[in-house]
Amino acid sequence: MERLNVADDLNGWVSSADAWIASIGEDGDWTRRTFLDAAMLGRAKVHEGRFLDIGCGEGRFARKLQEFGFKGVGIDPVDQFIKEAQKRDPDGDYRIGIGEKLTFEDASFDLTISYLSLIDIEDFRAAIKEMTRVTKPGGSILVANLTGHFTAGKWERGEHGDGQKFVIDNYHEERANREVWSGIDVINWHRPMSAYLEAFLTNGLILRHFFEPTPPDQNDPKSDRYTRVPGFVVMEWEKPKEMKA
């Protein structure tokens, strides 16, 4: 399979931006609107103050947070996304930025969010360090991510096209994966769960919430793939109050 020119195209997101905006719409894709939004908003709503949404895309989740009275900033390295976010929310604060090198001062935000963006960041350890730095002591980092089980595997069928099963291989090997769907062609990164946990723990954070959300309606035919296999994880990490920025 031909590798994307990641240096020129931000891992495919520049050339995929229009397709992403069309596919995500205002309500999000099926997983977001069915169960991921509820899991993330359920944790976000117990907080107050200023937020930072890292990898905000077209700004959909930042707008949802503002509906609950939050004020904050959305950043993304893709210019098309920031322009679309500003178009949909003229009063919002959206800026070009990357998670690995945030341009904000220490302890700037009460709630720092990564909603399915860590899988798009090559140097995720640097991003988690930066997320910790800009979060206020006593504040939280809220993360939704694909699980390592999901990114290390794929669905397969038997030789007669039946008996669908999920096959996992090379789980412990950190690597780039090319993902193609709905006109979107990007690079995501696979890492084992331990790599993410170690990065958060190394930065002195405390795990306050860990949840593997599944679709609430098991009669929905799309639910099967996210129930049989752990597809997503939602984590909330607290920065200790006594911890310096």
**Which pLDDT score is estimated for 1?**
30
Q: What is the pLDDT of residue 2?
A: 38
Say if residues 215 and 227 touch (Cβ distance below 8 Å): yes
Domain membership of residue 176 (yes or no) is no
Q: Pick from 71, 63, 61: which is nearest to 28 by CA?
A: 61
Q: Is the pLDDT of residue 36 over 60?
A: yes
**pLDDT, tens digit, for every residue of 73-112?**
999 999 999 999 999 999 999 999 999 999 999 999 999 9
At residue 70, does pLDDT exceed 70? Answer: yes
pLDDT confidence band for 161 (50 / 70 / 90): low
Asked if residue 179 belongs to a domain, the reply is no
Q: What CATH number is associated with residue 53? A: 3.40.50.150
What mean pLDDT do residues 222-228 have? Answer: 90
- Residue 33: burial class (beta carbons within 10 Å; 0-12, 13-18, 19+): middle
- In total, how many domains does the chain have? 1
- Whether 161 is covered by a domain: the verdict is no
pLDDT of residue 163: 72
pLDDT of res. 4: 38
Give per-residue pLDDT as tens, 106-151: 999 999 999 999 999 999 999 999 999 999 999 999 999 999 999 9
For residue 153, being part of any structural domain is answered with no
| pLDDT (0 to 100) of residue 157 | 77
Overall average pLDDT of the 150-171 stretch: 86
Q: Read off the pTM.
A: 0.93
Nearest to 151 by CA among 125, 122, 184, 177: 177
Residue 170 lies in a domain: no
pLDDT score for 164 = 84
Is residue 83 in a domain? yes
**Host domain of residue 210:** 6-147+192-238
Instruction: Calculate the average pLDDT of the chain.
Output: 93
When pLDDT is averaged across residues 35-55 and rounded to a whole number, the result is 96
- In this prediction, residue 162 carries a pLDDT of 72
Question: For the CA atoms of the chain, what is the radius of gyration?
Answer: 18
pLDDT of residue 6: 42
Is 46 a member of any domain?
Answer: yes
Give domain status of residue 71, yes or no.
Answer: yes
